[in-house]
Structure 1
Amino acid sequence: MHACNLLVVCISSPLHYAIYDDDRLLESFSIDEKPSTALPLMYQRLRESSMRVSGIYYASGPGNLSALKLTHTFLHSWAIVESIPLYATHSFALLPEHYIYAFGKKHFIMRENIAPSPTKSPEQNLALITANIECVLCENPPHSPPFTPPAVLPKSSFCLPCEPIYILPPV
């Protein structure tokens, strides 16, 4: 079995994932299902392949609350059961030009693109990132480009705590 790294972006539907060998992109996939269906499908496809996941890198939010909870629980459980290292970054590190859907007509935006720093603690990085994310009312958000996985896995961006980033806007 060949070892590879897995990148997962499941902050709503569809789920996007990419396979990296030696931190270089091999393949990327999308599953246009709800996270509760897409995550097990991704897992099943990976188990049926000849690849062994040696690291899981994922976007921990912001995003749809249900998707974030499911993704975190699924990936964290998988990482524990199979002793796979788990790494997290914020959604905007992988979707920099996007309005990320929150609910109704509300979307998350990042006021200034701040990258997590490996020289800071995960908690310091999280505080900087969350302070820079805003929930805005947007009748017609600009069309976001489709998700494109990076050609090289940006491991230095994955230095946030492995927990969902819940940003609850006022209702």
Structure 2
Amino acid sequence: MNTPLGHIDIALVSVSAPILCGIYEQDRLIKTIQSDELALIALPRIFEAFLPRPHKAPQSALPALDSIPDSMSDSVLDSMHLTYKGKIIESIYYAQGPGSFTSLKLTHIFLHTLSLMYDVKLFATSSFYFTKSPYIKAFGTTYFHRDEMGNITLARDNVRDETNSIESTQNIESTPSADSIADSINAKPQHKPLQEGFFLPDYLDKSAFHTHTQPLYILPALH
């Protein structure tokens, strides 16, 4: 008599580096995988570690493991493959944005390909589910900001200019010396970074996810 196959769920945060992948059984986190590689390289390598040969598409649909730089040792990959042999991925729960536009697009294409190849269900949610911060790095000094109402907009990190702003409002009638100007330019304001790191929750709250799996792009307002 065949042994019933176990089911696992995957949670994925690939909107920025490092990429986080969590394996869940009965909504509880049992394994965390982290990669500092680009999404194009990391995603196939992580998922091929515990996915069987696809039954709806040729194996060439995904890059071969030996063509991908070795960020994880073969022994680690072999161990993972043995550990999750006989397990079936039921669903993938992932961050659909905001985040790196390139990573969002690659993640969307990659996961929807997996969904077709393996009959895996996809569920998505905002990247803010995986962080306690209301800010996520966008580009330069710009951040994605989620307000108390859940609205997401682009915000600029003005805190970094705070020292120079204070300096410019003091001693307006006096002419600053060369030394004070140099000190003002070189000053590095001490403040807590706006963004805290992403994390995988110990318990996966599936009610926070939905089936609308298009990438969430937040673009600057047009003027």
TM over 0.5: yes
Root mean square deviation, CA, Å: 1.9
Match of 1:66 in 2: 102
| Closer/same/farther in 2, CA of residues 170 and 72 from structure 1, 3 Å limit | same
Q: Which residue of the other structure, out of 196, 200, 208, is the alignment partner of 1:149?
A: 200
Say if 2:135 and 2:195, in contact at 8 Å, map to a contact too: yes
Letter of the 1:87 counterpart:
F
| Closer/same/farther in 2, CA of residues 66 and 107 from structure 1, 3 Å limit | same
* Rounded Cα–Cα distance in structure 1 between residues aligned with 2:153 and 2:194: 18
Displacement of 1:89 in angstroms is 0.4
User: Does 86-95 or 144-153 show the bigger shift?
Assistant: 144-153
* Rounded Cα–Cα distance in structure 1 between residues aligned with 2:19 and 2:149: 23
Q: Which residue of the other structure, out of 33, 43, 47, is the alignment partner of 2:47?
A: 43
Higher helix share: 2
Q: Which residue of the other structure, out of 74, 77, 81, is the alignment partner of 2:113?
A: 77
Displacement of 1:33 in angstroms is 0.7
| Closer/same/farther in 2, CA of residues 75 and 57 from structure 1, 3 Å limit | same
Deviations 1:84-113 (A, max 9, x none): 110000001121315212122211010126
* Rounded Cα–Cα distance in structure 2 between residues aligned with 1:143 and 1:110: 12
Match of 2:152 in 1: 133
Q: SS where residue 57 of structure 1 aligns?
A: strand
Say if 1:14 and 1:35, in contact at 8 Å, map to a contact too: no
| Closer/same/farther in 2, CA of residues 103 and 170 from structure 1, 3 Å limit | farther
* Rounded Cα–Cα distance in structure 2 between residues aligned with 1:153 and 1:66: 26
Q: Which residue of the other structure, out of 104, 110, 132, is the alignment partner of 2:140?
A: 104
Displacement of 1:160 in angstroms is 5.3
Say if 1:13 and 1:32, in contact at 8 Å, map to a contact too: yes
Deviations 1:51-101 (A, max 9, x none): 321110000000010000001110111011111110000001121315212
* Rounded Cα–Cα distance in structure 2 between residues aligned with 1:56 and 1:113: 27
| Closer/same/farther in 2, CA of residues 97 and 160 from structure 1, 3 Å limit | farther
* Rounded Cα–Cα distance in structure 1 between residues aligned with 2:37 and 2:43: 9
Match of 1:163 in 2: 214
Deviations 1:15-73 (A, max 9, x none): 10100001111011210111111111111222334232111000000001000000111
Q: SS where residue 168 of structure 1 aligns?
A: coil
Letter of the 1:133 counterpart:
I
Higher strand share: 1
Q: Which runs of 5+ in 2 are unaligned?
A: 52-80, 161-191
| Closer/same/farther in 2, CA of residues 93 and 160 from structure 1, 3 Å limit | farther
| Closer/same/farther in 2, CA of residues 97 and 113 from structure 1, 3 Å limit | farther
Q: SS where residue 7 of structure 2 aligns?
A: strand
Displacement of 1:145 in angstroms is 3.7
Q: What's the TM-score once normalised by structure 2's chain length?
A: 0.64
| Closer/same/farther in 2, CA of residues 133 and 76 from structure 1, 3 Å limit | same
